[in-house]
Structures are given as structure tokens and as C-alpha cells.
Amino acid sequence: MSSAVPIPTRSGGSEQASPVFTPFTLPNGSVLPNRLAKAAMEENMAVPGQLPGPALFRLYERWSRGGAGLIITGNVMVHAEALTGPGGVVLEANSPLEPFREWAAAAKSGGAQVWMQINHPGRQVRADMPGVAWAPSAIRVDVGKNTKRFAQPVAMTDQQITETVQRFAETARRAAEAGFDGVEIHAAHGYLLSQFLSPLANRRTDRWGGSLENRARLLLDIVRAVRATVAPTFAVAVKLNSADFQRGGFDADDAATVITMLAPLGVDMVELSGGSYESPAMTGQSGDDRTRSREAYFLALAEQLATTSPLPLMLTGGVVRLPVAEEVLAGGIDLVGMGSALAINPDLPNHWHEKPTATIELTPVRMKDKAVASAAGMARVRQQLRRLGAGRRTRPSRNPVIALLIEAVLQQRALRHYRIWLGRRAA
């Protein structure tokens, strides 16, 4: 679904501005100031209590001044006992709301809309994490020699599935109360909702498995519950894999069908990405010939989906140059998501106004083990987020192996805090 809008001229001149700087009206009637979005990146920067704190406030205030029209947070977990990492932020029924109000205010201070990405990891949790490892079926994440680093999951019961629907709705309700403009339901990258969609991870024979209609049931039920809980003007988006990039997995035809299923439910946008921990295409580690090697990894698949999509689409994955962002829009996509580029240079959208050739350079991580390469790349990006949150300049030249080692130390510290907090909750 592509929206044709007039392209304004640059202030004070006759030169036409890039189409990425034209406003976009969502189905709910709210207007994004431009077509650029800060896509979700998992910060793992929660303070004790699994809450947003000063570093996240500074980071998001920094992004708010950078020129993106939409800011999507890193994933906020809907279940305190199920985190993607020990430094994850949690928003549940009993979470104190004031830190989330500060977070939303910081992210909106520059004029962008801010959406909270809400998520449940399912089976994609570390083996040393306390809490639960749930999945549609008791199938462990398979990343070769590193498989044992992930927990052995248990198949969810009907009651656990029902409670999960309620958790997503409650987190969305509280996000709206805290001042966020919308939520993005994470159903990509191999997390719980993506696991239910995948015929490789979902081997159930009940109403939650088998046909695509059954495998999509959990996602659709969550969307309905969230939309029924929030105001019509509050945005509800879904992050969906364009493909899993695994033989026999969720593919582009499945994605097209799910987008059609979402259309009547009040969804305002679908963000397209791809991959999982098992096939980390979202970090540029897929060898699939349908992904671009450097930028706009999933553009070919997104263009295919745009021809039939009844909903606005956003594409995320590797964009660092204005001409590539314009190519995405020319392909029928409505919004351009950028992650790593804005971790390196949060002012890149503003720089494009004055210097359309501005870009960032981030040396690719070259390792034989794609899962380790993906983790190292994400560690390097998270290090930039911490520097921004501390009010410092980024340092993209950091060796990714060193970044991964530093990340391991920080994760162990966060894990100790998380264990203590979770134990006190259970006492």
C-alpha cells in the first residue's frame, strides 16, 4: 500500500526535497512527520527492577533530535519471567509507570511519534536465565555447536496461551497510559509469535498448529485484544518476517496471507524484516540470494509483498544511504526503518537534508559461525547505544569480538540483578 503525496521543495529554494521527508498518514488518522523510522534495537539497558532509566532517557532524547518521524523502542517484555536478555525492560500490570512516562516524553521531545515494541521471547532464551522457556512445541533453538546455550522449551498449555494474549493487551494498555503513541507487536525474528507462525517450530496438532490459519491464531488473537484495549487513535503495528530463510519455514507467501488476515483487525502498519537466531538474516548474515548484501536486505521480498498488501508497510534491514531509502519507497513501501545506522549516527536523517550523500560505515562481521557473528554485530551496536546513553560519541570502529566479550561481562552483571529481582517477586 503506497501513498502518493506531493513532494515539497526545500525551504528557501527550488530544489525538490527527498520523498523520505514527506508526511505519512496512518490508517488511524495520525500523521508521521516523515517516512523515516528509528527501528527497534534491543538495548539491554534496564536498571534494577527491569525498568527504563536515565541512560535510556538520554538515548531516546538523542534520537528524538535526529530527525526520524517515528521512534520504535527496543523490545519491552510482556512477561517478567520470560526475557530475551537479563537487561531487558518489562512492563506488566504491577510495573511502576513513572519511568515509562519519562521514557515516552524523552522520545517524543523532538516531535516524532514513539511506539513501544512489545514482545515475548518464547524459546529464544538463554539456558542460564531463570524463569520460563515456552514455545508452541518442545523444540530447542538449533544453532549448531551453540545449541546448548539456549533453554530447552516446554510446549505451552491452552491456559498459558490465553494468559499470554492477556499480557500483551495489558502491556499495550499501560503503554498508552504512559504516553506512548502506539505499540508494535513483535511477530518476527524467531520470538514467540514468530515461532507459532513457523511450521518448523510449531508442530502442534490442536487449534494452534497445523494450517497457517491455526498457526496465525495467537498473533491475530493478540491483535484483537490489544485493539480492543486501546483507543482508535493509538497505533497498533505488527513486525513480521518477510521470510524465515529456513527451508520449509514461514515464507513470503505465508507473510502475504497473514498481512491479509491482519487488515480487518485495525492494524496501522506492518514492519517487514526476516530471519531468526537460527538464520540471522536481520543482521545481514543470511546467504539467501533474495537479500541484498549491504543494504535493504529484504527489499526484493518487500516489493513482492507490497503489490498485494492492504496495509501500509515498513522495511527495515541495513539502510544507511538516502538513495537506498528512496529506492525502498519507490518499490511501493511506505516507511523506511533504520537501526544500526542511527546507533552510529543518530543525526543521519537531519544530515540528509543538507548533505544527501551522508552515510555511515560499519565494517561487516566476518565469522564462519553465523550465530556468533550475529551476536558480535549486535554487541557492537549495543555498545554504541550505551555510549549515546552516557552522553558520549559513538565509536563504530570497535572490534566486534572485544564488544562481544564486554557484552558477556555486562550480561552476567545484569543476570545477577535479574535473579535477585525475580526472586523477590516470587517471595
C-alpha 388/C-alpha 350 separation (Å) is: 17
Mean per-residue pLDDT over the chain, rounded:
90
pLDDT of residue 5: 35
> In this model, does residue 1 exceed pLDDT 60?
no
Which residues does 356 contact at the CB level (< 8 Å), separation at least 6? 18, 322, 323
CATH numbers and ranges of domains, the chain: 19-426 (3.20.20.70)
pLDDT of residue 295: 63
pLDDT of residue 413: 95
pLDDT of residue 255: 93
Cell numbers 514467540: residue = 192
Name the pLDDT band for 377 (thresholds 50, 70, 90): confident
The enclosing H or E element of 119 equals strand 113-119
For 198-225, letters b (16+ CB in 10 Å) and e give bbbbbebeeebbeeeebbbbbbbbbbeb
Model pLDDT for residues 257-281, shown as the tens digit of each residue? 999 999 999 999 999 987 667 655 4
Which residues does 264 contact at the CB level (< 8 Å), separation at least 6? none
Name the pLDDT band for 14 (thresholds 50, 70, 90): very low
C-alpha 80/C-alpha 420 separation (Å) is: 13
* Percent of the chain residues past pLDDT 70, beyond the cut: 90
pLDDT of residue 90: 98
Model pLDDT for residues 217-250, shown as the tens digit of each residue? 999 999 999 999 999 999 999 999 987 666 777 8
Residue 72 — φ and ψ, nearest 5°? -110, 130
Give residue 118's identity as a one-letter amino acid code. Answer: I
pLDDT of residue 287: 44
Average pLDDT over residues 416-427: 93
Q: How far is CA 287 from CA 245, 297, 301, 320, 380, in A?
A: 9, 11, 15, 20, 21
